[in-house]
Structure 1
Amino acid sequence: MDRAARSRNADAAEAPELEELVWHFALSFYRRPGVAQACLDLQEMLRADIDIVLLGLFAALERNLLLDASSYAELDALVKDWRREIVQPLRRIRTSLKSKPEASPATRELRERIKGEELEAEKIELAVLAGWLDQHAPRMAKVAEHVDIDICLDRIRTHFAGDHSDGLDDQAIGAALAILAGAAREHRIEKFHTNNSDIEDIQRSRHA
């Protein structure tokens, strides 16, 4: 094996798996101001799967890929059983424990354990979604410029709204999507500055 091949293999071994990259993006993006509540609002109003929302945003912001309607349908079908049978029951138990009037320290401790299990179940789901993206991304055409984040979010809304858009609170949904769009633009700006800083560091090291 020549030196170039060994170098490529070493780089591949050190490169984070897409699953890990998606998870770290999801955690970071979810912690941005207003994002958590906006996602929960979409979950409540649209029955949106937050993991799918975050994967769509990852594809747009980190891979310059604009997922289409068929992609969201495939992703939803891929994880719907896991969501229905594992994630949602855990969420219902956690929510029920939170609202019980007889809550005690032991109850709160149980709720926190279930919350951790729910988060782990969502992480597993996100890994499945990342696996789909890893498999399909090479065959997708990247957008020449930045993905229009408004189109990305509109496709997500359209998918989860389905045939029931007439009974939805468009104003509230629009407000939640606007928060996600703003957070996405902030992420893009921060990424631009980080990339420029990395380039400057490389240039300085070459001239040192």
Structure 2
Amino acid sequence: MQLKNDLWDFALNFYQQPGIEQSCLELQNEFGLSINRLIFACWGGIQGYVLESITCNEADHWQQEMTHPLRGIRYKVRERKQQGAEYDACYQKLRQAELACEQVELALLYQQGLQAAQMQPSIEIIEENLHSYLKSQKVPIDKDILGALKPLLRAANSYLGTNHKE
């Protein structure tokens, strides 16, 4: 498994784009979607990968067994942190550990992505990848979800013209 890869680099950069963190957190909290899967869908389209399945058994198990429980603990410590600054060091270490878990998850998704059919990168592939993920999660594609996805599509589209390596 290659922890440092193009998907990881993309995820770190993409998540920092204006509006992406807020949009991803909204999609996670309101629709139960995985931020890593959303980023994976966008990266795939930017690379020209048609991702028929955004889910990956190994990555899904890792997320359920490692990342989510760790996130739950971090959230509990975040609540305690409001009671006193002495919890901050623990909270920061948990954030680092959660990020390391997400890096493993993205490495597993990256391996899967490299096996997908590759075409000319386009916004249509990005949309297709996102819609495929929404369908797999049984999330109806309505105006609410489409509105929440707009910042991701806008940011991903900007990569097609500027950051994509031919």
TM-score (norm 1): 0.69
Matched letter for residue 110 of structure 2: A
CA change 1:110–1:157 in 2 (3 A) is: same
In the alignment, does 2:133 pair up with 1:159?
no
CA deviation map 1:33-78 (0-9, x unaligned): 01111111111122212222212211110x211212xx224x2x22
C-alpha root-mean-square deviation of aligned residues, in Å? 2.5
Q: Is the 8 A contact 2:45 2:121 kept in 1?
A: no
Q: Is the 8 A contact 1:153 1:181 kept in 2?
A: no
Q: What corresponds to 2:148 in structure 1?
A: 176
- Which structure would you say has the larger Rg? 1
Gaps of 5+ in 2: none
Q: Is the 8 A contact 1:66 1:147 kept in 2?
A: no
CA change 1:18–1:57 in 2 (3 A) is: farther
Q: Distance in 2 between matches of 1:145 and 1:21?
A: 15
Which of 15, 20, 44 pairs up with 2:5?
20
CA change 1:147–1:175 in 2 (3 A) is: closer
Q: Is the 8 A contact 2:26 2:148 kept in 1?
A: yes
Q: Greater RCO between the two (CA within 8 Å, min separation 6)?
A: 2
Q: What corresponds to 2:122 in structure 1?
A: 146
Q: Is the 8 A contact 2:70 2:94 kept in 1?
A: yes
Q: What corresponds to 2:83 in structure 1?
A: 103
TM-score (norm 2): 0.85
Query: How much does 1:131 deviate?
Result: 1.6
Which of 72, 78, 83 pairs up with 1:92?
72
Which of 53, 63, 66 pairs up with 2:50?
66
CA change 1:18–1:188 in 2 (3 A) is: farther
Name the structure where helix makes up a greater proportion of residues. Answer: 1
Query: How much does 1:144 deviate?
Result: 4.3
CA deviation map 1:150-177 (0-9, x unaligned): 33322222222x2x64xx9x44422220
Q: What corresponds to 1:206 in structure 2?
A: none
Q: Distance in 1 between matches of 2:122 and 2:26?
A: 27
Q: Distance in 2 between matches of 1:95 and 1:125?
A: 20
Q: What corresponds to 1:3 in structure 2?
A: none
Q: What corresponds to 2:40 in structure 1?
A: 55
Q: Distance in 1 between matches of 2:31 and 2:73?
A: 21
Q: Percent identity of the aligned residues?
A: 25
CA deviation map 1:72-119 (0-9, x unaligned): 24x2x2222211121011111111222237632221111111011000
Q: Is the 8 A contact 1:94 1:114 kept in 2?
A: yes
In the alignment, does 2:110 pair up with 1:133?
no
SS of residue paired to 2:119: coil
SS of residue paired to 1:94: helix
The runs of at least 4 consecutive aligned structure 1 residues that moved more than 6 Å come to: none
Matched letter for residue 128 of structure 2: I
Q: Distance in 2 between matches of 1:18 and 1:102?
A: 34
Aligned residues: 164
